[in-house]
Structure 1
C-alpha cells in the first residue's frame, strides 16, 4: 500500500471526496475537486481523459495505486478516479506527493 494514500479513508468518512468516473468528472468541471487521484491500471483512454480535464481546469492530479486498492481504502469496490473536494485534505495530499 502507498503510505501517501493513508488519509483516504479518513477523507471518505469526512465526506471530503467523491469517487468514480462520473462523479469525479463532475467535481473537476464544477470546480469542487481540489486534487485528483487516478489509478495506474485505469484504461489509457480514462487516464488521458482525466489528465486532460485536470490540466484544463487546473486541478492538481497524480497517477498512482491500482483500482482495487483505491476502492478498498475508501471502503468501496474498485475505483478508477478519486477527487478530493476539501481544501485541507487536498493540501495534505499535495504535500505528501511533493515530498516523494
Structure 2
C-alpha cells in the first residue's frame, strides 16, 4: 500500500473513532481549546484560511501538516472536499505525523 493510501485510511479510522473535526471554524475552536493534536491543511486552501490556521496553530503550538488537496482530505473521511481537519487524539496524531512527514 502506498503512503497516501495509508495515511488516508488511518484518517478514515480516526474519523470513525470520532477523533477528528473538520471545517475551518471548528478546527480553530479545537486549537484554541488545546484539544487539537495535529492539523491537516490542504495545499489548495485559500491564502486567508492558510494564514489563519497556521497562525492559530503556531500560537497554540499545534503541528500543521500540508496535504495534497481538499478532495483527498474530504475523501479520506468520507465527505466532500475538506480544506482543514484537526485530529483530537494524540495516538492518531502521532502516527499520522510520522506518515506525512
**Is 1:89 matched with 2:74?**
no
Using the alignment, how far apart are the partners of 1:66 and 1:97 within structure 2?
14
Secondary structure of the structure 2 residue equivalent to 1:45: helix
- Could you list the structure 1 runs, at least 4 aligned residues long, displaced by more than 6 angstroms after superposition: none
Q: Which runs of 5+ in 2 are unaligned?
A: none
For normalisation by structure 1, the TM-score amounts to: 0.91
* 1:1-100 to 2 correspondences below 5 Å: 2-3=4-5, 5-6=7-8, 7-98=10-101
Offset, 1:97: 2.6
For normalisation by structure 2, the TM-score amounts to: 0.90
Using the alignment, how far apart are the partners of 1:82 and 1:43 within structure 2?
15
Contact 1:33 1:85 in 2 (8 A): yes
How many correspondences in the alignment? 98
